Amino acid sequence: MADTLLAHEPVIRAGFFLSVLVIMALWEVFAARRPQAIGRGTRWPSNLMIVVLDTLAVRVPDSGSWKAV
């Protein structure tokens, strides 16, 4: 069981991320409490880029290039 989870970890992680992202996006669209000063078209791409950069910052050093320390 653990081997299966570890083998499919990226897919499972991406599935959970996308599920939460869709739920939160729908929640923001349908249950907004006030008008936003900055539109979704500006905010969402910049926030997703932060997620991508954060993921790269965590994953790239783990590739072995920093393990000589």
Contact in structure between 43 and 36 (CB atoms under 8 Å): yes
Highest mean pLDDT among 4-8, 46-50, 56-60: 46-50
Contact in structure between 41 and 34 (CB atoms under 8 Å): no
Longest C-alpha distance within the chain, in Å?
Answer: 51
Amino acid 61: pLDDT: 66
pTM above 0.95, yes or no: no
